[in-house]
Amino acid sequence: MVGTERKSNIELLRIVSMLAIVMLHIGAASVGLPEPKGNLQAVTGRDVWVLTVEALSIIGVNCFALISGYFGIKARWSSFVRLTLLCVVYAVGIYTLLAVSGLVPWSWGEWIESWMVYSHTDLWYVPAYLGLFLLSPFLNSMDFNKWILAGFIAFNVWCGWLWHGSFNPTGYTVVQLVMMYLIGRYISNHVNVEAGGHRLRYASLAAYLVCTALIVVMALFADSLFTYAYNSPLVLVSSVALFLFFASLDFSSKFVNRLAASAFAVYLVHKNPYIFGGLLKPFSRHVWENTGLAEYTLFFVAFTIAIYFVIFFIDSVRAALFSIIGAAFKKTRA
């Protein structure tokens, strides 16, 4: 049911999803996504590598929204304040530190804009998630059947993905998050994952791998933005399949749960335009251009994991400071 106790299997998926998002950014978003358009003779091993990594990791955002739907967003003022403070701390903090240290030019205009985390931001997911947050009470109260959900998915795929409808042409919209949220809610409320056992686990993993392979094949012939759209049927199926694979697991780990708690902070920090555009992207591109594919693959894996853990430690300090400030604030009100 929505709002059930968070188990480590889903929290592990949260970590994997964010690692996948980091992979998207330091991979194809940094080194470039090939566009073979059917010219298979011109395809290199590096092209196949990039297309495969993109196919494996394109599920990140969809799975993140599925998790939100599976647990259910509780739209309280306290939750809104925590979300906003988290975004503001990293947006304002990163710009202020870089500007004070002389690494970027100081501008009062940019400093003020860094506070406007829902309007003046390069992180599309932040305002989209706010829209999902505001809609969540209505979405949580819906009593829909599988045919209504299927119709909504078909509408997004047919009108949005296939015919490039402006409401959701590639999935970078709140409409996409709403769709994935509703799928997650449906799974939580109507699908008995535990009853599937090992059969569901193996079938869902197989479906994810098959879809990944088909996405790579499609990318050799079709436009990359079309192939890797979040609302592409293959991407949707692979996202749900991977979600079901992790949902079929059953284990508990305090470390995994704590590591997962900083997943959103990993997004806010690594995709900050000053961090990504000024550091991560050029660094990844430099290594890509100056190493062999095997060496770059090792770098890619290590760099992805390092980004997550470095930001995790930073966010742990932030969380501790927030806890101290919160405790002091409660004392002053007592």
Let me know: does 308 contact 280? Beta carbons within 8 Å: no
Q: Write out the DSSP string of 76-97.
A: -HHHHHHHHHHHHHHHHHHHHH
The answer to whether residue 3 sits within a structural domain is no
Domain count, the chain: 1
Phi and psi for 166 in degrees, rounded to 5?
A: -65, -20
pLDDT at 293: 97
The answer to whether residue 145 sits within a structural domain is yes
Let me know: does 232 contact 216? Beta carbons within 8 Å: no
Element (H, E) at 291: none
The answer to whether residue 1 sits within a structural domain is no
Q: Quick one: tokens of 127? A: 């305002």
CA angle, residues 202, 231, 58, in degrees to nearest 5: 60
Considering only CA atoms, which of 99, 128, 131 is closest in space to residue 113? 99
Q: Quick one: tokens of 253? A: 């780990």
Let me know: does 67 contact 184? Beta carbons within 8 Å: yes
**Burial code of 267-303, b = ≥16 C-beta within 10 A, e = fewer?**
bbbbbbebbbeeebbeebeebbeeeeeeebeebbeeb
Query: Hey, how many other C-beta atoms are within 10 angstroms of the C-beta on 233?
Result: 16
Let me know: does 200 contact 244? Beta carbons within 8 Å: yes
Range of the structural domain that residue 293 is part of: 8-333
Query: Hey, how many other C-beta atoms are within 10 angstroms of the C-beta on 84?
Result: 14
The answer to whether residue 2 sits within a structural domain is no
pLDDT at 2: 39
Which amino acid makes up residue 60?
G
Gap between the Cα atoms of 272 and 95, Å rounded = 9
Which amino acid makes up residue 69?
G
The answer to whether residue 281 sits within a structural domain is yes
Query: Hey, how many other C-beta atoms are within 10 angstroms of the C-beta on 205?
Result: 16
The answer to whether residue 301 sits within a structural domain is yes
pLDDT at 136: 97
Considering only CA atoms, which of 56, 60, 54, 55 is closest in space to residue 17? 60
pLDDT in tens, the chain (334 residues): 334 456 899 999 999 999 999 999 999 999 999 999 999 999 999 999 999 999 999 999 999 999 999 999 999 999 999 999 999 999 999 999 999 999 999 999 999 999 999 999 999 999 999 999 999 999 998 877 889 999 999 999 999 999 999 999 999 999 999 999 999 999 999 999 988 888 999 999 999 999 999 999 999 999 999 999 999 999 999 999 999 999 999 999 999 999 999 999 999 999 999 999 999 999 999 999 999 999 999 999 999 999 999 999 999 999 999 888 888 777 776 6
Query: Hey, how many other C-beta atoms are within 10 angstroms of the C-beta on 306?
Result: 12
Q: Does pTM top 0.75 for this prediction? A: yes
Gap between the Cα atoms of 159 and 34, Å rounded = 26
